[in-house]
A and B are shown apart, each in its own frame.
Chain A
């Protein structure tokens, strides 16, 4: 007997991302979806549909989904509460981790790199409605995402603030910030912060900023 539940319907999602969107930390590239803001998850599916974000298996999977169905799927994962798991870490020097922590908390004002916490929340657990948390993600996934923003295989609606930030990072910064994020201890409170609790230092299309014509 097949249950008529959403969970049963979305086997294509859960086989990689986990039944509760817990991700597969062991494999490195299937990120956790549980507890991420729903509007962020919808935006990612839309970006895969339109080809702004490139990853063939995801583009194929979501190619026909309607806005209503995407929202339903996003709400499901956003509502999941499952413990975080730690994933394997590359061995990096203490100095690299220090640089990563510095970028996370303070950015690099000389190169106009804002702190991660400036948008993703003081505990990096994300901010409602559209900013994802960065804690509990595998090193491989984090570094691959920052890299793909630089190679334009991940993009989103303009102005694409993360593309600007990624473009200002040195290669070694990507290693540093991904390693520091992946090795962070989890905060006691892992839910996304309330909407409006941060003032983003850059204009972001995903947060409603309008693209300025060149």
Chain B
């Protein structure tokens, strides 16, 4: 793929990192000074929220809904663990970050937190002691959440059963282990501020923008991250590879050259509500998002999200990778593998079976730039998301045991270059790498 000039690229990349590291070390000191000075300044307008308010069932119910929209449980619940009790380690390129317990336990959870503490975390990315929080907690998005919504979420979290479970240590390397190192990061990538409605747009569009860019924190995955884990690149929601997890979160643009080009509002609503649409099926981390979060959203909110997404601007065409990487021999071999293992379900025409098996022709996860999603889907197989609409979903065999790296590369390259698809080939070495990516 990008062989030429790779050595040079690497040198430049490392030089850049070295410079950036030096800069970072310098700002550590500044950061420390600022953070110490800043702690006393927090929450000027402290208000006390009464216990009666926090126990209001209507508020708690609304908080339940909003907490699902924000998919708090997606990170704050460990595999096999108690809801919201934390205990899992979030792997990042900078090391593992422990996810805290947000049940109301006095010692190990949010029991001693006031609403102001909670608001400060959500809105300003600061912990109870005023410390800067690592942006693995997506306060870059949650800062847009309104105070009313934050209060409802806080009331809901306070209503949960307390679970006594201490948050374990993480494993961040220096300088990331020092929270002061976040000063530069915050200066570059974080602006605190509640969502501001655009008066030129409809209420529905604004609601969608609020859900996508605030509570839903979609850009935490669906945007490219740079070496420092920031998401500065425009346009927003133009897709990106999720670090460490190594899935590709597709571009959410539905217009020209967008990742969801050709998707209608109803396709988006269906995928978020049921896990499937006529254009593709959610899998990997998005399957978890559908099951834990979006399937629970109201039809109005899903329509609002779709309204916002279809308004994203057209994209500039990507570089012509395809011509350079296309490999006739590989695609020919892939056609044979496809005929033997895939065509029965996905069809010779790549159109799938409506409501059962997703189409591969034009499927955003098949033609995304990296090839990771199609490769890992072939290796892992699995069930379509289990939602209220699909309580007994169909599934795909995992082919990791049956197919060699070369065969997977061939069949993935074939589907990425068949019918209307014109995406780059995938090499066997890449399949070998994806085969060994830990599954969450």
Q: Of A6, A61, A63, A64, which contacts B398 at CB under 8 A?
A: A61
By a CB distance below 8 angstroms, the chain B residues around A61 are 380-383, 395, 398
By a CB distance below 8 angstroms, the chain A residues around B391 are 66, 68-69
Is the C-beta of B397 less than 8 angstroms from some C-beta in chain A?
Answer: yes
Give chain B nearest CB distance to A175 CB in angstroms.
25
From A1, which residue of chain B is reached at the shortest CB distance? B353
Is the C-beta of B345 less than 8 angstroms from some C-beta in chain A?
Answer: yes
Is the C-beta of B79 less than 8 angstroms from some C-beta in chain A?
Answer: yes
Q: Are the C-beta atoms of B382 and A16 separated by less than 8 Å?
A: no
Q: Mark B378-420, 1 if CB is under 8 A from A, else 0.
A: 0011110110000111111111111000000000000000000
Is the C-beta of B439 less than 8 angstroms from some C-beta in chain A?
Answer: yes
Is the C-beta of B360 less than 8 angstroms from some C-beta in chain A?
Answer: no
Question: Which one of A46-54, A91-99, A109-117, A180-188 is at the B interface?
Answer: A46-54
From A27, which residue of chain B is reached at the shortest CB distance? B401
Q: Are the C-beta atoms of A51 and B392 separated by less than 8 Å?
A: no
Of residues 2 through 41 on chain A, the ones whose CB sits less than 8 Å from some CB of chain B are 2, 6, 8-16, 27
Bound Cα distance from A50 to B353, whole angstroms = 32
Q: Are the C-beta atoms of A69 and B386 separated by less than 8 Å?
A: yes
Q: Are the C-beta atoms of B79 and A50 separated by less than 8 Å?
A: yes
Q: Are the C-beta atoms of B386 and A66 separated by less than 8 Å?
A: yes
Q: Are the C-beta atoms of A65 and B386 separated by less than 8 Å?
A: yes
Give chain B nearest CB distance to A103 CB in angstroms.
31
From A15, which residue of chain B is reached at the shortest CB distance? B397
Q: Are the C-beta atoms of B396 and A11 separated by less than 8 Å?
A: yes
Is the C-beta of A108 less than 8 angstroms from some C-beta in chain B?
Answer: no
Is the C-beta of B75 less than 8 angstroms from some C-beta in chain A?
Answer: no
Bound Cα distance from A52 to B291, whole angstroms = 22
The contact size tier of chain B is: 20 to 34
User: A61-B382, A64-B383, A69-B386 known; A12 and B397 CB under 8 Å?
Assistant: yes
User: A10-B395, A11-B395, A11-B396 known; A64 and B381 CB under 8 Å?
Assistant: no
Q: Are the C-beta atoms of A2 and B357 separated by less than 8 Å?
A: yes
**Count of A residues near B, CB < 8 Å?**
28
Q: Are the C-beta atoms of A12 and B383 separated by less than 8 Å?
A: yes
User: A64-B386, A68-B391 known; A12 and B381 CB under 8 Å?
Assistant: yes
By a CB distance below 8 angstroms, the chain A residues around B383 are 12, 61, 64-65
Q: Are the C-beta atoms of B395 and A2 separated by less than 8 Å?
A: no
User: A12-B395, A15-B381, A69-B392 known; A60 and B439 CB under 8 Å?
Assistant: yes
From B376, which residue of chain A is reached at the shortest CB distance? A60
Q: Are the C-beta atoms of B353 and A12 separated by less than 8 Å?
A: no
By a CB distance below 8 angstroms, the chain B residues around A59 are 79, 439
User: A9-B392, A69-B391 known; A57 and B80 CB under 8 Å?
Assistant: no
Of residues 190 through 223 on chain B, the ones whose CB sits less than 8 Å from some CB of chain A are none
Bound Cα distance from A8 to B380, whole angstroms = 18
Of residues 57 through 109 on chain A, the ones whose CB sits less than 8 Å from some CB of chain B are 57, 59-61, 63-66, 68-69, 72
| 8 contacting pairs across A/B (C-beta < 8 A) | A2-B353, A15-B398, A50-B79, A50-B80, A56-B438, A56-B439, A61-B380, A69-B392
User: Which residues does A use to contact B, with CB under 8 Å?
Assistant: 2, 6, 8-16, 27, 49-52, 56-57, 59-61, 63-66, 68-69, 72
User: Which residues does B use to contact A, with CB under 8 Å?
Assistant: 79-80, 287-288, 291, 345, 353, 356-357, 380-383, 385-386, 391-402, 438-440
